[in-house]
């Protein structure tokens, strides 16, 4: 669970990558462990770590991203700062997705 995620992140950081690549780092975790992993990633972001993260965890994206890219059908539909993209999405497909995850 969360401990395995934290260990995997620590191992990746030990190699001193220019960019940390993360694929659904909070998926399949219970809410408490999900929050622990979010906290680790938030601290890395605050420390200036560059991360490319694929996630359906909108809270994580909002909290740690400088730029959010929304993909649909393998294409970037919309991109922008999280505050703008989550509050005022410009593309209908982005609005539909955000409505579906809020319900």
SS (H, E, C) 26-92: CCCCCHHHHHHHHHHHHHHHHCCCCEEEECCCHHHHHHHCCCEEEEECCEEEEEECHHHHHHCCCCH
Q: Output the pTM of the full model.
A: 0.85
Predicted confidence (pLDDT) at residue 4 exceeds the cutoff of 90: no
Q: What is the pLDDT of residue 14?
A: 93
**What homologous superfamily does CATH list for 1-58?**
P-loop containing nucleotide triphosphate hydrolases (3.40.50.300)
Segment 9-47, tens digit of pLDDT: 999 999 999 999 999 999 989 988 899 999 999 999 999
Q: pLDDT class for 1, splitting at 50, 70, 90?
A: low
CA dihedral angle for residue 63, residue 37, residue 98, residue 67, rounded to 10 degrees: 40
Segment 49-99, tens digit of pLDDT: 999 999 999 999 999 999 999 999 999 999 999 999 999 999 999 999 999
CA dihedral angle for residue 18, residue 78, residue 84, residue 61, rounded to 10 degrees: -50
Delimit the domains of the chain by residue range.
1-58, 66-103
56 φ/ψ angles, rounded to the nearest 5 degrees: -100, 5
Q: What is the pLDDT of residue 49?
A: 96
């Amino acid at each position: 669970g969360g401990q395995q995620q934290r260990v995997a992140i620590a191992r990746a950081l030990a190699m001193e990558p220019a960019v940390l690549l993360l694929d659904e780092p909070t998926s399949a975790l219970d809410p408490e462990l999900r929050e622990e992993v979010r906290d680790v990633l938030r601290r890395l972001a605050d420390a200036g770590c560059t991360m490319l993260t694929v996630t359906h965890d909108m809270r994580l994206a909002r909290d740690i991203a400088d730029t959010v890219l929304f993909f649909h059908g393998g294409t970037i539909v919309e991109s922008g700062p999280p505050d703008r993209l989550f509050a005022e999405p410009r593309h209908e497909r982005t609005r539909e997705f955000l409505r579906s995850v809020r319900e």
